[in-house]
């Protein structure tokens, strides 16, 4: 794993784990965005849980359920 990729991954992982990052829910709390809606799918609130588990924009990176 190259150093640049590892830094990129740790940066985003820390945002998800702390819930403090480029999420509209977080930014809106401090007046940095006009709404707490996701800029990609317009769902609200756009928090870490939305980005990891729900947002349609990231579905291709989620593991698929095992088939039986």
Please give the residue ranges that form the binding site for Zn ion (CB under 5 A): 38, 40-41, 43, 55
CB atoms within 10 A of CB 48: 17
- Nearer to Zn ion among residue 10 and residue 52 (C-beta): 52
For residue 32, give both structure tokens.
């940095």
CB nearer Zn ion, residue 25 or residue 38: 38
Phi, psi of 9, rounded to the nearest 5 degrees: -65, -45
Nearer of residues 27 and 55 to Zn ion, judged by Cβ: 55
Query: From the CB of 37, what's the least distance to Zn ion, in Å?
Result: 8
The answer to whether residues 37 and 43 touch, using CB atoms and an 8 Å cutoff, is: yes
């Amino acid at each position: 794993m190259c150093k640049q990729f590892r830094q990129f991954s740790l940066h985003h992982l820390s945002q998800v784990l702390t819930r403090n990052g480029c999420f509209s829910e977080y930014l809106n709390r401090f007046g940095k965005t006009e709404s707490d809606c996701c800029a990609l799918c317009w769902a609200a609130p756009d928090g870490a849980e939305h980005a990891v588990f729900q947002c349609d924009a990231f579905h291709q990176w989620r593991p698929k359920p095992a088939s039986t």
